[in-house]
Amino acid sequence: MKNIVILISGSGSNMAAIVETAQRERWSDTLGATVAAVISNKPVAAGLAVANALGVPTQVLDHTGFANREAFDAALAQAIDVHTPALVVLAGFLRILTPAFVNHYAGRLVNIHPSLLPAFPGLNTHQRAIDGGCRFAGATVHRVTAELDHGPILDQAVVPVLPGDTAATLAARVLAQEHRIYPQAVKTLLKA
């Protein structure tokens, strides 16, 4: 079985979209793949209850309990590697990862970012797109490399920026597309 481990920090809606797609499309039968675990660095992440409700085992690894980034990433890798994952999926995982962690998962680590990369890496992407006068915004699924939000692009979705948009309305429009493209990109990687 190809195990997928999903890392979250918050609401986990992308995680839920992937798990629901995997269940609906019976990935265990069709792809020999399953979401083996959801791991959160935040004990309060709402996505933990969502994952449990979907029947996926969860684990919390609170980064505040570690002395530094290296120590946390080493413990995180240990927790992930229990599942010998074919794919490690970052889904709203709000941590900068050390190069050692990224290298350890080279070719197996993907992320979704709420902008049309290479535009707007980093935070506050929707407000920055509005402030910049962008007519289009979107989301990008990409491989994770040592440079933040810069890995090779696997898929993108484009949405219009509409008159009167706020960061919240634009984020909601983009998020709906994230839920569409992320499960499909994961599926494509599992088939490769």
Smallest gap from residue 171 Cβ to ligand GRF (A): 7
Site string for ligand GRF, 57-76 (x = CB under 6 A): --------------------
Whose structure tokens read 């699924």? Answer: 141
Smallest gap from residue 29 Cβ to ligand GRF (A): 26
Residue 34 near ligand GRF by CB under 6 A: no
Residue 92 near ligand GRF by CB under 6 A: yes
Q: Is 104 annotated in the active site? A: no
Give 11 or 169: the residue with its C-beta nearer to ligand GRF: 11
Please state, in angstroms and rounded to a whole number, the distance separating the CA atoms of residues 95 and 105.
16
| Coil vs helix vs strand at 87 | strand
Residue 186 near ligand GRF by CB under 6 A: no
- Binding test (CB under 6 A) with ligand GRF, winner from 4, 22, 97, 112: 112
Please state, in angstroms and rounded to a whole number, the distance separating the CA atoms of residues 138 and 132.
14
Q: Residue 16, by phi and psi: left (phi above 0), alpha (psi -120 to 50) or beta?
A: alpha
Residue 138 near ligand GRF by CB under 6 A: no
Q: Could you tell me which residues come within 8 angstroms of residue 8 by beta carbon, excluding any fewer than 6 positions away?
A: 15, 38, 39, 40, 45, 47, 48, 51, 91, 92, 93
Give 36 or 139: the residue with its C-beta nearer to ligand GRF: 139
Residue 149 near ligand GRF by CB under 6 A: no
Q: Enter the DSSP assignment of 60.
A: E
**Which residues are known to be catalytic?**
113
